[in-house]
Structure formats: C-alpha cells, structure tokens
Structure 1
Amino acid sequence: MAKSKTVYECNQCGYQSGKWYGKCPDCGSWNTFEEVEQFTPSKSSASKKNVDLTDKILELEEIDVDDDVRYKTGINEFDRVLGGGLVKGSIVLLGGAPGIGKSTLLLQICQYLGEEYSILYVSGEESARQIKIRAQRLNVDTDGLYILTVTDAEAICDTISSSKPDIVIIDSIQTMNIPQITSSPGSLTQVRECTNLFMHTAKSLEIPIIIVGHVNKDGAIAGPKVMEHIVDAVLYFEGERNMTSRILRTVKNRYGSTNEIGVFEMMDKGLEEVENPSQMLLSGRPENVSGTCVTCTMEGLRPILAEIQVLATKSGFSAPRRMSKGFDFNRMAIIIAVLEKRAGMFFGSLDVYLNVVGGFSINETAGDLAVALCLYSSLFDKPLNENTIAFGEIGLGGEVRAVSNIIQRVREAQRMGFEQCIIPRQSLKSMDQNDYSIKLIGVSDIKEAFKIFD
C-alpha cells in the first residue's frame, strides 16, 4: 500500500524539501513553500516486471509527417506567433492579465476553426449562458463549437477521449481540479497534475489543447514553473488596459521561433489584427517638438518602427528623477553617462523621462542611437527632422556599432516614407545607396550623429 509523507514544495519552481524554508534555495523566492503530501509506493508495488519495448522503437525516417500537421486559426497574427498554426497533439499555455483579451481571442478563432473542425470549449469560470452572450457580442455563431462548464480534470479528459473533438480549449487551468487531490483548485499540486493530465491526453489522442493561465502580481504565469516545462508553447498576451493595442509574445515554442510577436487592437467587436504595426505606432506624431525620434526594432523577422520620446527638464529635487517606460532603465542610464563623458553634455541637475509611444517595448540595443538623439534634442530644445530615422548600438567609448538585419530595417523605413536614415558607418559599407530611395547617412560615433542636426 502506498504511504504518504509531508514535504514542503516551492510554488514557483517546484523545489521540494523535508523542512520549511523562508527563501527557496533554488529560485530565491520568499515565502513560497507550501506543505504538500507526497505518496511513495510500497515495496510490493515498487517491484515491477521487466517490460521490453523494443518493438515500439521507430527510426526517424519511418515517422510520417503529413502536410496537415498544423491547424490554421484564421488569425494570421496568432498563426505567426505559433510558427504557422496550431500543431496537432500540442499543448499551448496562454497567459495574460485579467481583461487583456485572452478569452476573446480564443473565442474568435473558434469562428474560423468551427467551419471545418469540432471545438470543445471547457470553461470553469463562466456559465454556458455567459459564454453565449459573449459569443453574440463577438459575432461567433459557428456550429462546430461545443461548450462544457465543468472543473473536474479527469472527467474532462474522459469526455475528450470519448467525443474526440479536433481542438480543445481549457479556460482556465487555475479552476481545474482532480478530486483525489485534497488541495484547493489553483494550488501548486492541482495546477501541475491537471496540466500533466491534459498533456497526456493531448499526446495520446493527437488533439491540440489550448490552456488559459492567470498571471500573478509580478506578471508571470501563476503556478509552478514546471507547468511551463510541460507544455509545448507559452504565450503572453501583453498591453495596457487603458490602451487599445495588444501584443501576443511567445516565450517558449517547440515548433517555431520564440522571437515573433502578434499585434492586435481591441475594438468593440473584439480583437482586430494589425497588419502594419509601424503605422499604428507612428500615428499622431507631433511636429516641431524636441526630444522625439523614430527607430526600428526587430521582432523575429518583422521590422517595427517605434517612436521614442525623451523629456529632459530642470529638477526640483536634490536628486534628479530618471524614469523609463518601454526601454531598459539601466541602458538609458549608460547612454546618459556616455553622453556626459564623450560628448560633454550635462544631465546631473535634470530630470529625464523616456517613453516608447503606444505601450511598445524595445528589447534590443538597436534603439540606442535614437535615444541618444532624443536626449540631445531635448537637452538643447532642438527639434529633429521628423523624416529622419536612426538605429545603432552605442558603446561606452561613444562609438556607434553595427546592428543585425540592417537591410530589413532600412526597407521598412523606406516603405513608411522616411527620407533619411542614420545608421552605423560599418553597416553602410555593405550597402549600395543606389538600391534605396531613402538617404543613408553613416556615422562612426555620437558626435558625428549630432553634427547632422547642427
């Protein structure tokens, strides 16, 4: 007979210990240890007969992969993030803040998928009537969508095995439970074991399952990190609730790139795809205003133009304030230090505020040159040419270093109607000005970049 013993487990990373810790030795989180029961098999049950699985070993060439291995969802931005569509037998975890649009997005893809496939939508948070009201608002009226409002994970898996739908959606994993486990729904053990159960069901029946996950106050998906290791893809739905733009970002994807993003706009009738994010982010740009410049950032294979704004003003405090939104704060501090040391500028008594317009985030160093130009423009209150775009990495010596995907960035700037592009001189050597209608200006350091606007 199986015996149980009490162990303490971190609800962030799953680390187990025989005693309680205030700080997890593995992930460093505080006050995350919870008491759980662990069952160990008895000696009689632990002794097993040898099982020979030689006949189940397959050569790689023998495994047949047909062309219909992915389901197209009908939303190109969602397919882009998944790597081309929803893979059969995969399990996808979709996380995001409350009200960001997770359930809305999943219900909208049901409209397209329901024309050819059967979809089982399992909800533990809403009643069938509430889902119907939301479906009417989103104009979802497909005949291939079936609703199930239960929270028993074992019963759900049995239903999936018997009915065999083409696609399953679980909304959300924090409401699911296994009756044999005494802990409450949403706890460490329940979330992990329910995810394991859905994973085995998806793999054995070749049915893709999309799981909705809540996020905690830090913005990470609630539950143990081991849950993210179990699933095949982890997607985050990001955006400011008071703004209409939404970004779908992938953190893990076994069947595609982790650098792609999908851009949406929240409207009255649901989410709409934004096929040209650059145009959306650049709409409403001010004219003849200092401290603003446009740069180009790469999100996977997609170049996106984003506007950076900087305000440097006299501080009313003994220690000036520095704030950054959408750009790494430490990176901004380094650029300010380089400008003071290499270009003779002084920001010691000034408050500096940096913002990337539209709630967008720049996660690469290609935006350094545009930030430096914004700081220069705001410090001297000198507006930059609004038809100018800049990208390049700034080193501690004040040099402007080359960045990757330079051709894609320049072509995107040219497509959006910019007249001149400031790029690293090293990148200019490998490009022919005759191939572009936009004027290319190469600079080797920040002083050369500032002289362009003198």
Structure 2
Amino acid sequence: MKTTTIYVCQGCGYHSPKWLGKCPDCGAWNSFTEEVRGREKGGRLAPAAGVKAVPLCEVAGETEERLSCGISEFDRVLGGGLVAGSLVLIGGDPGIGKSTILLQVMNHLAESAGPALYVSGEESARQTRLRAERLDIRAPKLLVLAETSLETILGQIAELSPRAVVIDSIQTMFTAGLESAPGSVSQVRECAGKLMVAAKRSGIPTFIVGHVTKDGALAGPRVLEHMVDTVLYFEGDQGHAFRILRAVKNRFGSTNEIGVFEMKEGGLREVANPSALFLSERPVGVSGSAVVTTIEGSRPLLVELQALVTPSSLGVPRRTTLGVDHNRLALLVAVLDKKVGLHLSGSDIFLNAAGGARLNEPAADLGMVTALASSHLDKVIDPQTVIIGEVGLAGEVRAITQPETRVREAAKLGFTRAVIPAGSLTQVSPLAGMEVIGVRSVEEALERLL
C-alpha cells in the first residue's frame, strides 16, 4: 500500500500538500493538521453489476410509512415521524439536552417497535445507565453500546437489526482506514459516509449527535450537513427551562416547524401550548411590553416583546437585541424618527423577545414599533391587545399571511383586541369576544394603542 502525507484544515476540510499558517479557503489560522493516507495500487472501483437508470415515472410511488417517536413535538419537527433509512443530525450547545431527548425517544421506540441501539462514545455503559435511571427509562429492549470503533458498531448493527440507532457523538467515532485522530475532518466525513450507506441499505433510521463550535455552527466539515437527510438544532439558554428544537434541513418535511420542550428533573417534557408558556410571566401595567403573533411552520405562537428606551450618555448610543434582527431594529427606529416624529437617535435601545423566542418574520414589525414607542413615551399598552403587522419604509402597515390563524390563537388565550393591517381585515372572520382593528400606518396604530 502506498501512503501519502497531506495537511487538512480542521475548519473546512481544505487539503494541502504542505503545512499552511492560514487556510486559503475559510481563512482560519493554525488549523492544519497532518494526516497520512493509504492507497492501494490499482484501486479503481469496478462498476456495480445490474445497476442501470430507470424512468422516473416507473419508480414505485408508495407512501412512506413513518415511525412515531412517542413525543409529538419531536414527530412534528421531523415531519410526522421517522422515515426508514433516514439519517438525522442533531446539534446544540453542551448540556442543552441532546442526549436526554434521544434517550427518551429510543426508550419509546424500544417499548413500541422493537430493539433500539444507543451507541455512546462519550460515556460508559454504567454512566448511561445512571442517566437512564434518573429519566425513569427501563425498556428491556433498549440496548447500549459504549464503543468508538465504527467497524465494531456497524457489525453490531448488522447482527442486532435494531429499529433505530443513535450515535452519540460523531466526533468521537473513528474508522481504522484512516490514521487521523477521532474528531478530525477526515474521520467525521468518512464515518458519516459509512453510516449513511448502512442506513440506506438496511432501512434503519439513524440519529447522529454533533458538537457545535463557539460560533454555534456544527463542528466538522460542512459536507456533513449535506450528507444527512435532516438537520435539527437544539436551542435555548441553560439558565431557562425552555428548549426549542428547530429543523434547518428536512428532506421529508417542513424546515419551518419547531418543537418546544421544558427541562424538568425527569428529563425533557413537551409543551402542548407554547404561547401560554412564553406569556406566563408577562408583567402587567408596564410600559415597553407588547404581544405579537408569529408563525413557526404551521403553528401560531404568541410572544412578548420587551423594549427599553433610555437617554444615552455615550457618543454612539447602544442598540442591543435578543431574539430580534439587529438590522430590523435600526430600520424601525428610522421609521419612527422620520414618519412619526419620535426622535430616538440619542437613546440607548434594548429589545428582547421574552422566553428565548426568536422572531424572524416581518409580521412582528408593528409590535416592535409599538413597544419602542411605549417605552419612550412611558405609556402602557392594553395587556389584552395583540399587535400584528409588517412596517414599510414609508411608515405604512402592510398585509400579512395567515391573519385569521394568528387572531384565533390570541382569542384562545383570552385576548380581546387585535390590531392588524387594514389590508388583512377581509381575511379574518368575526370572532365572539374579539375586536379586530385595521390600521394603515404606524402613526394610526400608535394613536389607537397609546
């Protein structure tokens, strides 16, 4: 066997025949490590026998059966359950609950569908047992394997034929075909590739746990996210009990769905009504607080927006946001200044989506503007009012999608008034106990609300 020495960037996987101080692809410094690779002479792959292309219309179009994970919020994010042979990558900060939720999922699958295999490369079998006892997990068909050798793991999968497999984590796995250390770009890519082939051939759905970098991105080569069928991110602050599971890639479902969980002593518990959870500690009679409705996938969520506007003693006033786009805040402050006459350029502004929620859609614009004006003028918004609408640069309030779904969700939680764009009024049916007000501009909305 002929061996060659190459240098691989651990940030992006760029290859170089010599060591470089700075990666020319991703710009990372001191990220190259030496790897020795072997290549057998005459190692060209022979064409597979009996493989040929077929017309797409002749491919069987059977409906794919899905395997329920036993947790409805988890099934929602996956698109309705696990698809046979799918490869699911789940990432998140350390301690956020990745291993906990997967252990709970595997426990249900072991009880309802058959044997399930949990492979731990970070904990011993005894440590996994202690964690399972804390979560009250006792399924007799839940199998645990403390191993990091990929060849051994694949052998166990072939021997046991489990209904589902968890690899925790991909950064601890290694294959004997490469001499590089576990967690390196080459090892992660090669191990993920072999697991993908095994999942597709056997039809066994496989979960892969991935570490994240300090920037919040999944560690390892970018190709890892392209190889898998689904990429899930666990989000949340360890200081809060709430966790949000979000799909950023899904070949078998929507990428807009989220699942909301609450961390308790016995593990993660799904939250059936996230809106009530986000509003549970909302202060009453305080300026700068507004409630908006956002759509996450097919689910409407009510979220409280909190704004604090104070005179600044700095030459450049501070602009701080949590859960809200910083550039969107700058745009809305400019609209308030130019179109309404509220001069906030000399004030420090802090804007927060309470409960760790993240607002990305423009339908929350009117709620942000109202919260800012409320804090600046020190006037309280009616606590039974929900505010929805997109704000344009001319100060107009633009129509939004699914207005009736948003208003109905607010009515379920006891809100009695909704301020929405005038262009969306015709799409909302009359609701008992709910007053729906249409506005055409930011100035008109502030006159109604403040």
The TM-score by the shorter chain falls in which range?
Answer: over 0.9
Give the CA deviation at 1:349. Answer: 2.0
Equivalent in 428, 431, 441 of residue 431 of structure 1 = 428
**Stretches of structure 1 lacking an aligned partner (at least 5 in a row):** none
Describe how 1:177-216 pairs up with structure 2 within 5 A. 177-216=174-213
Q: Does 1:350 align with 2:347?
A: yes
Q: Structure 1 residues 81 and 348, CA, compared in 2 at 3 Å: closer, same or farther?
A: same
- Work out the CA distance in 2 between the residues paired with 1:143 and 1:238: 31
Amino acid at match of 1:82: L
Q: 2:283 aligns with which of 281, 286, 294?
A: 286
User: Offset of 1:453 from its aligned partner?
Assistant: 3.0
AA matched with 1:193: E
Give 1:282 deviation, angstroms: 0.3
Q: For residues 260 and 180 of structure 1, what CA distance do their matches in structure 2 show?
A: 39
CA 379–66 in structure 1, closer or farther in 2 if over 3 Å, else same: closer
Given that 1:14 and 1:226 are in contact with CA atoms closer than 8 Å, whether structure 2 keeps it comes out as no
Matching of residues 19-38 of structure 1 within 5 Å = 24-27=23-26, 29-38=28-37
Q: Which amino acid aligns with 2:367?
A: A
Shift in Å, 1:110 = 2.2
Quick check: 1:173 aligned with 2:170?
A: yes
Alpha-carbon distance in structure 2 between the residues aligned to 1:305 and 1:49: 58
Query: SS in structure 1 opposite 2:220?
Result: coil
78, 97, 104: which is aligned to 2:100?
Answer: 104
Larger CA deviation: 231-240 vs 312-321:
312-321
Q: TM-score, normalised by structure 2?
A: 0.94
Q: 1:19 to 1:270 in 2, by over 3 A?
A: same
Q: Is the 8 A contact 1:110 1:142 kept in 2?
A: no
CA distance in 2, matches of 1:52, 1:137: 51
Deviation per residue, 1:73-118 (Å, 9 max, x gap): 1000000000011111111111111111111101111222111311
Equivalent in 88, 91, 101 of residue 95 of structure 1: 91
2:110 corresponds in structure 1 to 114
- Structure 1, 300-309 or 391-400: larger mean CA deviation: 391-400
Note the C-alpha offset of 1:20: 5.3
Question: Deviations 1:305-334 (Å, cap 9, x if unpaired)?
Answer: 000000101223232211111101111111
Q: 2:136 is matched with which residue? A: 139
Give the SS at the match of 2:233. Answer: strand
The answer on whether the counterparts of 1:153 and 1:176 sit within 8 Å (CA) in structure 2 is: yes
Q: Give a deviation string over 1:45-70, Cα, whole Å, max 9, x none.
A: 33x66655356847654536366x22
| Residue correspondences, number | 449
2:43 — aligned with what? 45
Amino acid at match of 1:372: V
The answer (yes or no) to whether the contact 2:37–2:178 under 8 Å persists in 1 is: no
Distance 1:193 1:330, change over 3 A: same
1:114 counterpart SS class:
helix
Rounded Cα–Cα distance in structure 2 between residues aligned with 1:192 and 1:55: 27
Is 1:449 aligned to residue 427 of structure 2? no
Q: Give 1:81's aligned amino acid.
A: V
2:232 counterpart residue number: 235
User: Which of residues 62, 65, 76 is equivalent to 1:65?
Assistant: 62
Pairing 1:215-364 to 2, within 5 Å after superposition: 215-364=212-361
Q: Does 1:420 align with 2:417?
A: yes
- Structure 1 equivalent of residue 10 of structure 2: 11
- Call closer, same or farther: CA 1:82–1:49 in 2, change over 3 Å: closer
1:298, CA displacement in angstroms?
Answer: 0.7
Give the structure 2 partner of residue 129 of structure 1. 126
Q: Is the 8 A contact 1:10 1:33 kept in 2?
A: yes
Which one-letter code corresponds to 2:114 in the other structure?
Y
> Which amino acid counterpart does residue 248 of structure 2 have in structure 1?
V
CA deviation profile, 1:224-253 (whole Å, cap 9, x unmatched): 111111111110011000100000001111
CA shift, 1:196, in A, is 0.7
Report the CA distance shift for 1:148/1:430 in structure 2 as closer, same or farther (over 3 A). Answer: closer
Q: 1:15 to 1:274 in 2, by over 3 A?
A: same
Aligned to 1:152: 149
Cα distance 1:140–1:358, how it changes in 2: closer, same or farther (>3 A)? same
Indicate the residue corresponding to 1:77 in structure 2.
73
CA deviation after TM superposition for structure 1 residue 28, in Å: 5.0
Q: Render the CA deviation track for 1:169-220: whole Å, top value 9, x for unaligned.
A: 1111111111231111111111111111111111111111111111111111
Determine the C-alpha separation between the residues in 1 that align with 2:194 and 2:75.
26
Structure 2 distance, partners of 1:425, 1:339, is 20
- Residue-by-residue CA offset, 1:332-362 (whole Å, 9 max, x unaligned): 1111111011111111221111111111111
